C-alpha cells in the first residue's frame, strides 16, 4: 500500500509544482489591487488549458486523489503502517484533496474563462496560489510521514 501512496503523492506534488510555476507570478503583486494583465493572461491561459481544453486528461488528477485517499484508509484498516502515520497522512491528504476539489478547481476554471474584471481575476489567482501552497504542504507532509513510517 505504501508504494501506491507514495506514487500517488509524488504525482500530486508534481502537478502542484507545475501549477505553482504559474501561480507564483502573482506573488510580487500581492499588495497591489490587481496583478498586471500579462501575469493574469499567463495564469488564465494555463488554467483554461488544464481545466477545460485538456479534458479528459484533467480527470486523472481527481482519480489519483481518490486512489490516494482510498489507499490511505486501506493502509489504516489493514494496519500496514504505524497508527501515527495514518493519523497524520489521512487528514493531510483530505485537506489537500478537499481544498483542490472544493475550491481550487472551480476557481481555476473561472480564472481560465477570463470573464471577470482584472481585480477579480487577481483575487482568484492569489487565492489559487495560496490554496496550492497549502496543498503542497499537505502532500509533502503525507510523503514525509509515509517515508518516515515505512
> Could you report the per-residue pLDDT of 88-123, keeping only the tens digit for each?
999 999 999 999 999 999 999 999 999 999 999 999
**For residue 76, what pLDDT band results from cuts at 50, 70 and 90?**
very high
pLDDT in tens, 9-66: 999 999 999 999 999 999 999 899 999 999 999 999 999 999 988 877 778 999 999 9
pTM of the model as a whole: 0.93
Question: How many domains in the chain?
Answer: 1
* Domain carrying residue 68: 2-149
Whole-number Å distance between alpha carbons of 90 and 65? 12
Residue 56: its pLDDT value, please?
A: 79
Residue 150: its pLDDT value, please?
A: 74
Whole-number Å distance between alpha carbons of 40 and 38? 6
Residue 57: its pLDDT value, please?
A: 78
- By three-state DSSP, how is residue 88 classified? helix
Q: Rounded to 10 degrees, what is the CA torsion of 125, 131, 132, 133? A: 110
Amino acid at each position: 500500500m505504501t508504494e501506491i501512496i507514495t506514487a500517488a503523492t509524488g504525482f500530486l506534488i508534481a502537478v502542484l509544482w507545475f501549477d505553482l510555476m504559474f501561480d507564483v507570478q502573482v506573488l510580487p503583486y500581492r499588495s497591489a489591487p490587481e496583478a498586471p494583465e500579462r501575469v493574469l493572461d499567463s495564469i488564465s491561459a494555463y488554467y483554461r488549458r488544464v481545466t477545460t481544453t485538456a479534458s479528459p486528461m484533467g480527470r486523472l488528477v481527481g482519480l489519483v486523489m481518490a486512489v490516494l485517499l482510498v489507499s490511505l484508509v486501506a493502509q489504516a484498516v489493514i494496519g500496514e503502517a504505524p497508527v501515527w502515520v495514518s493519523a497524520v497522512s489521512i487528514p493531510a491528504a483530505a485537506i489537500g484533496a478537499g481544498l483542490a476539489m472544493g475550491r481550487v478547481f472551480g476557481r481555476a476554471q473561472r480564472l481560465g474563462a477570463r470573464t471577470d474584471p482584472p481585480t477579480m481575476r487577481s483575487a482568484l489567482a492569489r487565492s489559487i496560489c495560496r490554496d496550492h501552497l497549502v496543498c503542497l504542504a499537505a502532500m509533502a507532509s503525507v510523503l514525509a510521514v509515509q517515508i518516515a513510517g515505512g
